[in-house]
Structure 1
């Protein structure tokens, strides 16, 4: 999937003055998500139903393999029983991106801690290691919902737990589902997302499975649907995602609402910014640790109050057309994006305490922008705090040099994107395929030349952070396919 462009305006701002005048006539709307066919396996494509079973024929569907335990079909349902241990039935085929759903009913349990599971990556023979999305009959317990792995040593590696919003209990149908993109997965209970993980360790041949433990469970309406890759991964032939570095910073003062307006109106998919707190704890949009370079003031941002920062001129340094432009607060920037359209790649700049990250998260939520914000940082602690406070917001790690194993790092920090410097990536482009296989996108910084845009598109990079977003939008249009 790719994002449609924000805004209908196509006029190009070639000078700062012309850009500001042009803003008065431009309007922006929020883009929608549209499906784009990606590279597809031979047997299916995104949206294809790989498995669909309602058991009305009275027998197991073709290709289903009862690995162990008792598995029978009666009254239009599949019954699995396991007095102890974990009994499995496998089916389907290996998929990197898919949705797995079923209606389940605990018929009886030995105790409320017993469980059933959707097998997300299970060898057809049922041998470990395998990954599951687990549901306990006592689903409102703190570990009533889990993502877990059975290791080759037959020990459990439980990576994520949560409580379901209601009890599964016994004798009642519950709809459950998991959506998987590489190492990332989401757990749904009765249509509601209740848990996420970025810790799956995928095999090259694991299939799907149903598993019961210490219980008799019946299943109906089992369905596996292939999904397009992560919405942040660019399908083959699709244009590069355009990320406006500090707004349209080549034609307007960086990290201002004016730069944001120009980038959005000229078609940028995302606005990228930098956020730091004032002395009184208000997050402001500023790149440097001091205000000296981009305002008429002096001093460290953390030594200046929000009142002092709001008095500074953040535009005249760039050109006379921008005299009086102010440093926006994060709340002001998000309010502008919410009302006029756009998404924000929000960089937490420099070391932040958990409380400071919490203030940022609170503002994102207050502005109702959690679905349109993507947090990135060089600071791994900032990402750690962000995940703890708002696991629903996607995360990207900025790197000047590549890690020895970017996929392991992506798993460690729950990354949706790995965002390296262009020179680091082009020196070792093989990491792109491994990250994509893991469901992790790449957003590369900071790239302003058409020759490098072409190189990155050929390599399979997903997004480009650029100072020249209007030019990249035009280049995309001229180089489709």
Structure 2
């Protein structure tokens, strides 16, 4: 898709969003209790491996994702961007430079060009030659497991682009085990337009005065936000729980933060250290019995 067309579509989405704000909010049937289960302060939330298990393999590569799927964590988190020829691939950054031997904006490269890059040597020699995987290759792994996944769509996606992802989720039979998340509100609208049965989560670094109302407006079953945001606004935990909306915190890597999150009773924790957090949670919950 050309830059001009994407710009026009983005502008149209902004207009539609602005127009929707003057309308009465639609009633929402959003309820995450069936997905996350009832949880109170002191109850352990689920563990989500951030970009797979990035302590054992390069982030967002198949070895990292396989390690997360085979490990004790409940959820595998990963990021998705579109290649220049419209193929969803697993990649976090806007630029290629940090995690590959390539350079430039990731979205300017075709799938063939992206898969010609080395996405593993930066991590260790053991993973030299590791490739940027497609979303489809990850879903194939997920389909043969019982794990769930939190999939973040990076940047802005049109409904047509979002449909590429939602169609793959349905084709591999994992739609019921996946939550699609995004910072971009228009992308969440695109996912809903493409397939309203796909569960969605609202990513937000900073939360408004009523985050539940915002989540309900976009049909989100969960809010994914920072530890700092919830620590200074602890009332958010009870507010989301009463509304049946999940609350997930990112990216917590210390025992101090895990302990605080456990006491708050959040539904999930995204971490770079899923194995260590899993062991810590087992020990913490055993000690409290």
TM-score (norm 2): 0.86
CA contact (8 A) 2:43 2:262 kept: no
Q: Deviations over 1:170-200 (max 9, x none)?
A: xxxxxxxxxxxxx63xxxxxxxxxxxxx3x9
Structural mapping, 1:58-77, within 5 Å: none
Say whether residues 1:386 and 2:186 are aligned partners: no
Structural mapping, 1:212-231, within 5 Å: 229-231=33-35
Q: Which aligned segments of 4 or more residues in structure 1 are displaced greater than 4 angstroms? A: 157-160
- In the TM superposition, residue 476 of structure 1 has moved relative to its aligned partner by 1.1
- In the TM superposition, residue 341 of structure 1 has moved relative to its aligned partner by 4.2
Structural mapping, 1:281-292, within 5 Å: 281-292=86-97
Give the 3 Å change call, closer, same or farther, for CA 234–256 of structure 1 in structure 2. Answer: farther
Say whether residues 1:459 and 2:271 are aligned partners: no
Q: CA RMSD in A?
A: 1.9
More deviation in 433-442 or 230-239?
Answer: 230-239
Structure 2 counterpart SS, 1:235:
coil
CA contact (8 A) 1:291 1:298 kept: yes
Equivalent residue number for residue 280 of structure 1: 85
Equivalent residue number for residue 119 of structure 2: 314
**Aligned to 1:368, which of 173, 194, 216?**
173
- In the TM superposition, residue 229 of structure 1 has moved relative to its aligned partner by 3.6
Equivalent residue number for residue 258 of structure 1: 63
Equivalent residue number for residue 105 of structure 1: none
Q: Deviations over 1:244-267 (max 9, x none)?
A: 100111232100111112222221
**Aligned to 1:409, which of 196, 214, 218?**
214
Give the 3 Å change call, closer, same or farther, for CA 296–381 of structure 1 in structure 2. Answer: same
CA contact (8 A) 1:230 1:440 kept: no
CA contact (8 A) 2:45 2:265 kept: no
Structure 2 counterpart SS, 1:425:
helix
- In the TM superposition, residue 393 of structure 1 has moved relative to its aligned partner by 1.6
d(CA) in 1 for partners of 2:120, 2:151: 21
The higher-RCO structure (CA 8 Å, 6+ apart) is: 2
Q: Deviations over 1:334-363 (max 9, x none)?
A: 011112442210000011122111111112
Structure 1 counterpart SS, 2:36:
coil
Structure 1 counterpart SS, 2:89:
strand
d(CA) in 2 for partners of 1:233, 1:454: 20
Higher strand proportion, which one? 1
Equivalent residue number for residue 6 of structure 2: none
- In the TM superposition, residue 310 of structure 1 has moved relative to its aligned partner by 1.1
- In the TM superposition, residue 300 of structure 1 has moved relative to its aligned partner by 1.3
d(CA) in 2 for partners of 1:373, 1:430: 27
Say whether residues 1:232 and 2:31 are aligned partners: no
**Aligned to 1:331, which of 111, 126, 136?**
136
Equivalent residue number for residue 475 of structure 1: 280
Equivalent residue number for residue 20 of structure 2: none
- In the TM superposition, residue 301 of structure 1 has moved relative to its aligned partner by 1.6
Give the 3 Å change call, closer, same or farther, for CA 440–314 of structure 1 in structure 2. Answer: same
**Aligned to 1:431, which of 236, 241, 245?**
236
d(CA) in 2 for partners of 1:159, 1:294: 42
- In the TM superposition, residue 412 of structure 1 has moved relative to its aligned partner by 0.4
- In the TM superposition, residue 158 of structure 1 has moved relative to its aligned partner by 10
Give the 3 Å change call, closer, same or farther, for CA 234–447 of structure 1 in structure 2. Answer: farther
d(CA) in 1 for partners of 2:146, 2:133: 17
Structure 1 counterpart SS, 2:144:
helix
- In the TM superposition, residue 234 of structure 1 has moved relative to its aligned partner by 4.8
d(CA) in 2 for partners of 1:454, 1:234: 19
CA contact (8 A) 2:44 2:265 kept: no
Higher helix proportion, which one? 2
Structure 2 counterpart SS, 1:420:
strand
Structure 2 counterpart SS, 1:231:
helix
CA contact (8 A) 2:73 2:275 kept: yes
Say whether residues 1:296 and 2:118 are aligned partners: no
Q: Deviations over 1:393-413 (max 9, x none)?
A: 211111111111111101101
Give the 3 Å change call, closer, same or farther, for CA 234–453 of structure 1 in structure 2. Answer: farther
Equivalent residue number for residue 250 of structure 2: 445
